[in-house]
Amino acid sequence: MTDKRTRTLNQAHARIDGMEKEVVEIKTTMQLSLKELYARIRRLEMILIAITGASLLLLLRMNFLG
């Protein structure tokens, strides 16, 4: 078993290269997750706008026809 002090520069570079691959994978996963989140937020926004419009129409109908 090698001691931390005896690790070579090449071993350090190999570990860094491995970490770079993991970081790229994490970034890709985060980008996909954010795209899905934005799509859900847009869908929720459209639903809320539709509900607000329907509520306003019902209130106007009640005031002017009732």
CA atoms within 13 A on the CB side of 5: 0
Q: For the chain, what are the domain ranges?
A: 7-65
pLDDT at 2: 55
* Dist CA 10 CA 13 (whole Å): 5
pLDDT at 8: 82
Give me the chain's average pLDDT, please. Answer: 88
| Confidence (pTM) | 0.61
* Dist CA 12 CA 62 (whole Å): 74
List, for residues 21-37, the tens digit of each pLDDT value: 899 999 999 999 999 99
* Dist CA 16 CA 10 (whole Å): 10
